[in-house]
Amino acid sequence: MSALRNTLAIAVTVGAVYALASRPVDRHLPDAPDAAPAPDASGQLVVDLVDGATLEDLAEIERLLNADLDWTSPMSVDEALAEGWVADLDDAVALLANHPLVEVVEPQIEMAIPIDLNFDSLVVVDDYGPAAGFPDDPMYSRQWNLPAMGAPHGWSIGAMGGGVIVAVVDTGVSKVEDLEGTKVLEGASFVPGTRTAEDDQGHGTHVAGTIAQTTNNGKGVAGVAPEATILPVKVLSKWGFGQSSWIASGIDYAVDNGAQVINLSLGGGYSAVIHNAIKKARAKGVIVVAAAGNTGRRGVGYPGALEETIGVSALGPGGKMAPYSSFGKGVDISAPGGDKRVKDGGILQDTVDGKGGHHYVEYQGTSMATPHVAGAAAVLLSRGVPADKVEQTLLQSARGDGWDEKFGHGQLDLGAALDTSVENANGIRFLLGAFLAFLIAQMAGTTGGFRIRSAAVGGVTAGGLFFLSYLPLPDLLVVRLLASGLVQWPEILFGHGWMHFPLWLSAALPFGLAFTLGAYRGTRPIALGVAAGYAAVLFHGAATGGLAPWGLPEALGHAWLALNATVAVLLGMGMAGTEILEMQERRR
């Protein structure tokens, strides 16, 4: 018995290491960027002071430069980002380069929407009819891009980005017709002369639609993560250009206002100020996704080429790299960006038309590819994948044979990413189920053998033989069932979504087993293990949002899971108590 106990302890320990250990993805990055030399001329200087710098600190920098500086925005004061005109940029940068109050200093740098030679040849769509099934958005049939990257897989299991805030740092976002059911926050503008984050260009609203367009509302089109919340951050003007200080301030604002994902469908040369803002965002667990650029040549633009961002190249409808997409070191993943040379080959979304209204229009570009990845990141976060594992999950699950300069680690595959996250979650659930079953049995004072049998059943019920997913086994039904927890079996047997049936996500099965198998000594550990394993899965699903009972609002769904998990624990405790009473009877 001692040997068996030791073997189980070792197995659980190895399982914990395998399930929880991070397996980093190799990154292929360009050489470390160097800031462009400051010109020996007058110009606009951007100074990023240490966080929390005061007006007195700013005044000290002004005295050194003999120039007037202002905070880039009243919302940038806490990040201490300032700018102003100086007589000699080269001298000013040299003077402040190693100053203890200064994190970064550089001349103002202009960024823009990545140039697309066909951007102005808009394909406006207005001929469409009603759609049947899910989703019922009339133009969904023209959205080749969403099935191509696996969005329907997420919808089918209720993984739609709920509770996740995605910042669209762009030209702004306007709540057009087909964003009516999407939660869009007020946001902010960092473009001088504009008072709100409303979109006066069209690019930002189109990007936001790909991420979280209202879906299955009988109108227009669909989005990757329709339950995600959009935070509009306007940093580009109506001409599509923006200064590095505006963009850095917008990134800081997004982080301060709860963004969990930041979409940067913009680019240009390297900016140390923007890089510093992105580093701070990543340090706080925010995922940053950025466009590779639209030059059609080798050489990824910034910030897409940074180590701290997920750089995205663009695919056309056939899965080939789009002809305009930049490529090379810095590309991490590829996603649908459109190719309007092909009929219906652009990325279709609802956006402002520049005339006070809106239209459904096809765009193309790495700008359009980027929000597919941002939306996928939101979906994974909403399923309980930790922020520090999202990038790893997306890149490891991408369709490809290793990294290459066109596709990065491969083509975005949200379905595979969700399946990968389930495999990892199964390892965690196995540990939780085994531990909970062992704890219940131990608290009652049962024998060691009873505890071990209960723990083994609890682990397998909650997470299956999860390690089978990592072995080169054939894709057989029996293998998939054995590698999955009991709660997931309807999903495997009957199709996506079936495990979210509320009665299945309840204590009904543990209740039935408690009064059948639980009534007999030989099968009682099985019934207790199933109850504990079920409880572990329901608690985990309530805590992470990974389970969504059909027809129940989010808060009510979490309450349903937690309540039934508690009932399952009580059933387990009852069976453990029965075991002790019978043991005492046998000793008399």
Q: What is the CATH number of the domain that holds 50?
A: 3.30.70.100
Domain boundary among 412, 439, 459: 412
Question: Are 378 and 405 contained in the same domain?
Answer: yes
Q: What is the pLDDT of residue 121?
A: 52
Q: What average pLDDT does the chain have? A: 89
Question: Cα-flanking dihedrals φ and ψ of residue 498, to 5°?
Answer: -70, -25
48 is catalytic: no
580 domain-assigned: yes
320 domain-assigned: yes
pLDDT digits (tens, 9 = 90+) for 361-414: 999 999 999 999 999 999 998 877 878 789 989 999 999 988 999 999 999 999
What percent of the chain has a predicted confidence (pLDDT) above 90?
70
How many residues can be counted in the chain? Answer: 588
Active-site residue identified among 203, 359, 372, 558: 203
Name the packing angle between helices 524-544 and 448-463 (round to 10°): 40
Question: Are 95 and 138 contained in the same domain?
Answer: no
Average pLDDT over residues 260-276: 96
Domain boundary among 357, 380, 412: 412
Q: How confident is the model at residue 420 (pLDDT cuts 50, 70, 90)?
A: confident
Active-site residue identified among 326, 334, 367, 421: 367
33 dihedral zone (left: phi>0; alpha: psi -120 to 50; beta): beta
Average pLDDT over residues 51-69: 94
Question: Are 155 and 276 contained in the same domain?
Answer: yes
173 domain-assigned: yes
Per the structure, the count of domains in the chain is: 3
377 domain-assigned: yes
Question: Are 432 and 539 contained in the same domain?
Answer: yes
Question: Are 567 and 491 contained in the same domain?
Answer: yes
In CATH, what number is assigned to the domain containing residue 312?
Answer: 3.40.50.200
Task: Indicate the SS3 state at residue 70.
Answer: strand
Q: In which domain, by residue range, is 79 found?
A: 43-108
Question: Are 195 and 163 contained in the same domain?
Answer: yes
Q: What is the pLDDT of residue 20?
A: 45
Residue 79 has pLDDT above 80, yes or no: yes
506 is catalytic: no
**294-308, 343-357, 385-399, 446-460: which has the minimum mean pLDDT?**
385-399
Tokens, residue 540: 């985990």
Distance CA 457, CA 383 (A): 25
Question: Cα-flanking dihedrals φ and ψ of residue 264, to 5°?
Answer: -120, 85
367 is catalytic: yes
**20-29, 236-245, 278-287, 321-330: which has the minimum mean pLDDT?**
20-29
Q: pLDDT higher for 500 or 107?
A: 107
Q: What is the pLDDT of residue 4?
A: 54
Q: What is the pLDDT of residue 180?
A: 94
Question: Are 334 and 462 contained in the same domain?
Answer: no
Active-site residue identified among 48, 88, 116, 170: 170
**237-241, 289-293, 582-586: which has the minimum mean pLDDT?**
582-586
